[in-house]
Copies of this chain bind each other. A is one copy, B any other.
Amino acid sequence: MKDRDLYIGVDIGGTHMRTALIDGYGNIHKHQKVQTDIAKGAVQTSARLVNQCSRLVNEALENQRKVESIGLGVAGKVDHLGGRVIFSPNLPHLNGYPLAVELEQHLQVPVFIENDANLFGIGEHWLGAGRHIDNWIGVTLGTGVGGCLILNGGLWNGDDLGYMGEIGHTIVDPHGPWCVCGLKGCLEAHSSGRALMEGVEGAVSEKELNSGRLYDLCTTGELTPEQVYQSARRGNATANRMFERMGWALGLAIANLFTFLGIRHAIIGGGVSASWELFIAPLHKSLAKHSCMLDESSMVIVKGLLGDNAALLGAARLAQNRIHGRGQT
């Protein structure tokens, strides 16, 4: 690595596409955020991505610096070698689309594609809460629940099947609610932003909730995870129950993995982790209840330190490491 080399980190979500020019030390030189606008289809998304990244490449050139490589984060299964999104629940128009290949052809810069929760892991491991921990589980709470696994100080890739660390689709209660993936009782069906909303909607249709602000938002279709959070903060019992369920399910899923992996650290990030104070106590209670191998005091659950930038920084780090042949992280 030369001191003046730059990298582009990309994080494409269902709502926003974020791109940043990042140096080898993790300093963000320029940050951009535009709508993903998935309704316009994959070709449009790809064109918008090329446009955003071109601006950053030019920005670098104007400062006599060079973008060495690009790390591209997408929620879903990805084909690392083929530079393709295999399957993305929140960006279905990208399924099968060779997004990384197109970007590479247009910009003539090497592009490496990776799942966004794995990039969260790489980012937090590089500069965040996972910096000095060799083995840990990463969980990202957003519309869905993502995850990753850091082992021996590097991102674990398994048998390179196109997905990894999908804690959101481990089953915590086979009698629990249906998940968007088609299974019953996944962590994601209990602990995601979507689960918060569906839980409230369920309470409305069961007539457990039949008045008040949360009820109104629900019946007018304006409910968001943020509003469930605000209602819980104001003491709404239904909203609070959703966060208790979120913590309970996270505690069970993490306890299971600690028991099997013989490790004891987890780092939680993603937008919905901003509601930390509402789910962390139930999470700890559940962790203690569902682990027979470790004392509660041995298990360490911390919040990610990089906030919104974790995956973006992770993408830049991936780009940097891959181009310099240093493997995954």
Contact = CB atoms under 8 A, between A and B. Distances in A.
Contact of A259 (B151, B169, B289): B169
B262 A293 contact: no
Q: Number of copies of this chain in the oligomer?
A: 2
A172 interface: yes
Interface string A145-183: 001010100001111110111110111111100010111
B261 A158 contact: yes
Interface string A205-221: 00000000000000000
A261 B170 contact: no
Question: How big is the A interface, by class?
Answer: 35 or more
A219 to B, nearest CB: 31
A163 B291 CA distance: 12
Contact of A263 (B158, B174, B182, B291): B158
B149 A260 contact: yes
A58 to B, nearest CB: 37
Contacts of A160: 262
B163 A293 contact: yes
A163 to B, nearest CB: 5
Contact of A262 (B161, B183, B263): B161
Contacts of A294: 161
A252 interface: yes
B292 A164 contact: no
